[in-house]
Chains A and B, each alone.
Chain A
Amino acid sequence: MITRDAATPASGQLSVGEMLLAHGIGRRGFIKFCTAAASAMALPPWMGAAMAEQLRNAARPSVVYLSFQECTGCFESFTRSFAPTIENLIFNVISLDYDDTLMAAAGDAAEAALASAMRDHFGNYVVVVDGSIPTGAGGAYCTAGGRSAVDTLREAAKGASAIICVGTCSSFGGIPFADPNPTGAWPVTAIVGGVPIINVSGCPPIPEVITGTLLQLVSTGQIPDLDEHRRPKAFFGNTIHDRCYRRPFFDAGKFAKTFDDEGARNGWCLYELGCKGPTTFNACATLKWNGGTSFPIESGHGCLGCSEPGFWDKGSFYSAESTPQWGKAGEATPKQVVELAGITAGVGAVLGTASAGVSRLRQASRQKAAEHEHQGDE
């Protein structure tokens, strides 16, 4: 948990409020910004004012952004946040002290920035992790400045007030973690402990979910309510299916059977086309993407379930949720089913024949015993 002290500006530092004033943003404008952010996080409206008050008096907290085994898709998503916008966030709300993608510095200077942030704000900085952490080959699959990701993370975690895992890779291992996991990749939770970890999963996560979580953390100083996968309930409390505008078609039993049939054109439910909405907890159906423009289901494709652990290993994206999935092979095909049934029925037939044979032998021996007895009598 972030301590309150952490949010108090050190002497000589400008508070967020002072800084905003210097940029010509008044108290009113800032409350508006915070209210928008609060509503994006499904927090009550008064939280906006409270957040604004808290933030105005707080020093911009130090944030270090660590990119490990990742594709930068999550970061791309992060940069497209509408409320709050990334520039607002990084210039006005937080002090982004290290981010190898955005920072002007490079090489030793960049690494020195990281080291100094961790030293100066020990115990108070927030670590954002993007990407899984490969442990194979002594961590050699992902290094920066000659240090492996796993070492960097372990060290950064020591003085962190909290860790936010952005994306499914850092949250649950993601694609690098998927079978056969050649790099020995792990999620953050498998590497470090003893520090609050918030998972903001998704491949990538919704921009506003990343910024909103970060904003809520630094503004309230509280770890938000988390689900069993450590995801903020404000964003991951419902399934996509529950909030999907196509849900009435599911309830009415109207399903698209292919991507170009009548049902698909009518916007019917994509369940049978493999939509993972029913088991996927995320805010896609409510916050949507690109500033609330659309989301995958709205554009005609089923949910891939990317914000759920192990989503890459759960079989075909195009087989319905309730279909059998046999291990790595994905969806069981009718052919496989027939093979399984055939082989096991064959085994059954052999056992059954043996059982019947044993019963017949028992019968024959009893018959013989009876005949023997019979002869003995006469």
Chain B
Amino acid sequence: MDLLSFARGPALKVALAVFCAGVVWRIAAFALLRIRRDLNRPRNSLFKYLGAGLYTIGTRSWPHPEFIRRTGAGEALGYSYHMGLFVVVLLFAPHIAFLGSLFGITWPGLPNSVITVIAVISLTLFLAVLFRRVTSPVIRMLSNFDDYFSWFITMLVMVTGLAATAQIGARYSTLVAVHILSVDVLLLWFPFGKLMHAFYIFPSRAINGAILARKGAAS
């Protein structure tokens, strides 16, 4: 079995299995802890505060005007590499073929040249993110192995993907195999680290937003 067959065969299968099991495990382990009912009389109706919770998903995507001056640049940096990542992951033809065969649906993609440009920009931003993490005293203090390893593995996926597209360093089949292997590693790591925020971000905003709105407080 060559490297590519291994990467997109058994390795991918194991990675997906660990990913699915791990994600559900991790979520169930805290979601099934005790949930205490809030007995205090709500200020807003259920309908209204649940709606406000959903609204928070959108509004929390960008800082409130009061905070923009201090955090706007940092958040813009974070969101832009995420968006670049999503475009590359979701709109690059080989990725669509990959996801399409997993889920049975496909969609139109973007030209490779556009994808390559976006990927290079995202990669640059991703380097800037690491730079920020190690130079900002606050973020450096908060960072642990999880942050750096999650960064590293995501970076590895990006770099190997770009190398495969540009065919730099080794032959295409090897580069693609290494790229898919790095995705396998990412899937394996996913449930154990901060990458889980992909599943948390919207429910977290919605739940905390709804709890605040229940009190009539700002969210």
Residues of A bordering B, CB below 8 Å = 239, 241-242, 250-253, 255, 257, 271-272, 278-279, 281, 308-310, 313-314, 319-327, 331-334, 337, 340-341, 343-349, 351-353, 355-357, 359-360, 363
Contacts and interface: CB of A to CB of B under 8 A. Distances in A.
A253 B94 contact: no
A253 B93 contact: yes
B27 to A, nearest CB: 7
Contacts of B34: 360, 363
Interface stretch (B8-16, B67-75, B119-127, B136-144): B8-16
- Main secondary structure, interface of B, reads helix
A347 B19 CA distance: 11
A57 B203 CA distance: 82
B28 to A, nearest CB: 2
B216 interface: no
Contacts of A314: 4-5
Interface stretch (B57-65, B151-159, B169-177): B169-177
Contacts of B2: 309-310
Given A255-B93, A324-B98, A334-B103, A352 B27 contact: yes
A257 B103 CA distance: 16
A349 B24 contact: yes
B208 interface: no
B50 interface: no
B130 interface: no
B198 interface: no
Contacts of A250: 93, 112
Contacts of A351: 21, 25, 28-29
B113 interface: yes
Given A324-B98, A332-B101, A344 B176 contact: no
B125 to A, nearest CB: 23
B110 A348 contact: no
Contacts, number: 159
B25 A334 contact: no
Interface of B: 1-2, 4-5, 8-10, 12-13, 16-34, 93-98, 100-104, 106, 108-115, 167, 171-173, 176, 180
Contacts of B106: 257, 272
Given A310-B2, A327-B9, A353 B101 contact: no
Lowest 10 CB-CB distances: which A-B pairs, in order?
A352-B28, A348-B24, A320-B97, A334-B104, A356-B32, A355-B29, A279-B173, A348-B21, A323-B101, A344-B20
A78 B110 CA distance: 43
A359 B27 CA distance: 14
A135 B84 CA distance: 54
A251 B33 CA distance: 50
A250 B111 CA distance: 8
Contacts of A257: 106
A241 to B, nearest CB: 7
Nearest to B28: A352
B112 A334 contact: no
Given A253-B112, A278-B172, A334-B103, A324 B28 contact: no
Contacts of B12: 324, 326
11 contacts: A251-B113, A252-B113, A253-B114, A278-B172, A279-B172, A320-B98, A321-B94, A322-B176, A323-B101, A325-B8, A359-B29
B98 A278 contact: no
A221 to B, nearest CB: 29
A355 B25 contact: yes
Given A252-B112, A337-B103, A352-B26, A271 B94 contact: yes
Nearest to B179: A322
A292 B180 CA distance: 36
B105 to A, nearest CB: 8
Contact of B97 (A241, A271, A309): A271
A84 to B, nearest CB: 30
Contacts of B8: 322-325
A325 B7 CA distance: 9
A319 B21 contact: no
B17 A344 contact: yes
A340 B10 CA distance: 12
Contacts of A340: 13, 16-17, 20
A312 to B, nearest CB: 12
A251 B22 contact: no
B173 A337 contact: no
Nearest to A276: B173
A360 B33 contact: yes
A209 to B, nearest CB: 19
Given A310-B1, A349-B28, A326 B10 contact: yes
A348 B111 contact: no
A348 B20 contact: yes
Contacts of A239: 171-172
A310 B18 CA distance: 28
B26 to A, nearest CB: 7
A307 to B, nearest CB: 12
Contacts of B94: 271, 320-322
A320 B26 CA distance: 33
Pick the most buried of B9, B31, B171, B180: most chain A CB atoms within 10 A of its CB: B9
A359 B96 CA distance: 41
